[in-house]
Amino acid sequence: MTATDPSGAAPAAPATTADPPSPDPHATWAALAATIADLGRLLDGTTGADAAAGLRYAAHFLAAGLSVCVAHDDTVAPSLGRMVEPSMRWGLDNPDCLYLITRLAPDGTYRVHGDRGTATHLELQVNTGHFGDGNYTGWRAVWSATADDLGAGPGQPLDVTIGPAEGSSFLLVRQYFGDWERERPADLVIERLDATAGATDDGLDAVTARLVLLQQWLTAGADCWAALGRGFADGTPGATIDPFVPPAEAAGLKGQAYGFGPFRLDDPDRDAVVLTLAPPPCRLWSVSLADPWWASVDFAHHQSSLNSHQAQADPDGRYTFVIARDDPGVANWLDPAGATRGTLAVRYLLPDLGHDGVPPPLGYRTVPLTDLADALPPGCPRTDPAARADAQRRRAEAVARRYRA
């Protein structure tokens, strides 16, 4: 029997909320395709080497976006994937570092475990925000731990549980390599402990959301890193190089001092840049070059970076580097691989900065190639073509091993 009210009328049917319409996959794909096509805006006004670097940056950033925003964006069935590698160079990436990333749900509980590997330094960090939103000053680290903190020495097992944290959005694993030829990456997996075994988040709504995130990555994200790169490349060479230590809540590597500044070869046929450095005691330090798009210069096939394990000291313990288009026969040559301007990055990992807490400055000066020999300190380490070729072969092999599938 149907219940009625005192008037004898049947009660009104309860109000219902219609399910939201399902996303239109054709519209989603069309919007993504248009966003990819619009990446050409980054190339406006570029020619020659800058245009080639811009095309490469757009392609690399698209590849990285597919990895970060699509392939490794499932918070229910997470997986650690590379966000940077030789075919995906962006964001002033460090040639010494292997970066792994996965998305996290703020209310999720996750376990990361496996072989810690033998990298000089390993850190796990949970951050807010997303690399695709372009708001690099707004990202915050809500939790971080090094392999040291977790009691996992080189070659030992690592096992850590990451609990819910307000605002957490992604896990970033950084591994820093000093001895590229001998240190090996970690072999880690991640699982969500509070999810049903075998569950995934791969319905139409979720896949659509990832492609929308990819669009943001290709707009706000791409513009962010390109603008930073151009800003440094257009600056005064040698300026703002002095390293600084970011605040503890920042999303950078904990305990690392960063120094960024422009480098320029206005006339690569005639000029070179001489850098001098007296690094503080630290776990690892490095000097590296990035192109005007803030992508590292191809570090597998060019000696565009050197770290404390690779560089050779002058007799007085200082280090002299030379940026030049052609090999000057100096051991610490930084090869710009055709780039005539870009960003010079100096990094000190866990430095002992003494009482004043200020890293030592980096000396920078442009000299004519004809005067280069006189500009170098006595006993500055040299090399010959055969030794250079052998070092470069071993360098390329070491990078290939680090990033092998």
Q: Output the tens digit of pLDDT for each of the chain's 405 residues.
A: 333 333 444 444 444 556 678 899 999 999 999 999 999 999 999 999 889 999 999 999 999 999 999 999 999 999 999 999 999 999 999 999 999 999 999 999 999 999 999 999 999 999 999 999 988 888 999 999 999 999 999 999 999 999 999 999 999 999 999 999 999 999 999 999 999 988 899 999 999 999 999 999 999 999 999 999 999 999 998 876 777 777 666 778 888 988 899 999 999 999 999 999 999 999 999 999 999 999 999 999 999 999 999 999 999 999 999 999 999 999 999 999 999 999 999 999 999 987 777 777 789 999 999 999 999 999 999 999 999 999 999 999 999 999 986
In terms of domains, do 155 and 244 share one? no
For residue 317, give its domain range.
236-402
Please indicate, yes or no, whether residues 215 and 295 belong to a single structural domain of this protein: no
Residue 131 and residue 204 in one domain: yes
- If asked whether residues 178 and 252 sit together in one domain, one would say no
> Same domain for 198 and 248?
no
Question: Quick check: is 3 in a domain?
Answer: no
Residues 6+ apart with CB under 8 A from 12: none
pLDDT of residue 208: 97
Domain end, chosen from 177, 209, 231, is at 231
- 185 and 264 in a single domain? The answer is no
- 19 within some domain: no
Same domain, 79 and 186: yes
pLDDT for the residue numbered 247? 67
Neighbours of 20 (CB within 10 A): 7
Is residue 157 assigned to a domain?
yes
Q: Find, among 336, 342, 345, 332, the residue nearest to 299 by Cα.
A: 336
Rounded (10°) CA dihedral 131, 161, 75, 32 = 20
Give the pLDDT confidence score for residue 246 in this predicted structure: 72
Which helix H or strand E contains 243, and what residues bound it?
Answer: none
Total domains present in the chain: 2
* Residue 284, φ and ψ in degrees, nearest 5: -160, 140
- Residue 10: per-residue pLDDT: 43
Examine residue 17 and state whether it is found in any structural domain, yes or no: no
Instruction: Write down which residue in 188, 212, 231 finishes a domain.
Output: 231
Residue 357 confidence (pLDDT): 76
Whether 9 maps to a domain, the answer reads: no
In a domain, 11, yes or no: no
In a domain, 372, yes or no: yes
Same structural domain for residues 240 and 198? no
Residues 58 and 35 in one domain: yes
Whether 213 and 253 map to the same domain: the answer is no
H helices of 85-220, where?
Answer: 204-216
**Per DSSP, which regions of 89-214 are E strands?**
97-103, 110-115, 121-127, 141-146, 157-162, 170-176, 187-192
In this structure, what CATH number is given to the domain that contains residue 377?
Answer: 2.60.120.1600
In a domain? residue 12:
no
The answer to whether residues 123 and 212 belong to one domain is yes
pLDDT of residue 138: 87
- 210 and 295 housed in the same domain: no
pLDDT in tens, 5-44: 334 444 444 445 566 788 999 999 999 999 999 999 999 9
* Long-range CB contacts (within 8 A, 24+) of 279-283: 279/308, 279/319, 279/348, 279/351, 279/360, 280/348, 280/351, 280/352, 280/353, 280/354, 280/359, 280/360, 281/351, 281/352, 282/308, 282/348, 282/349, 282/350, 282/351, 282/352, 283/120, 283/121, 283/349, 283/350
Domain end: 177, 201, 231, which one?
231
The count of other CB atoms within 10 Å of the CB of residue 55 is 16
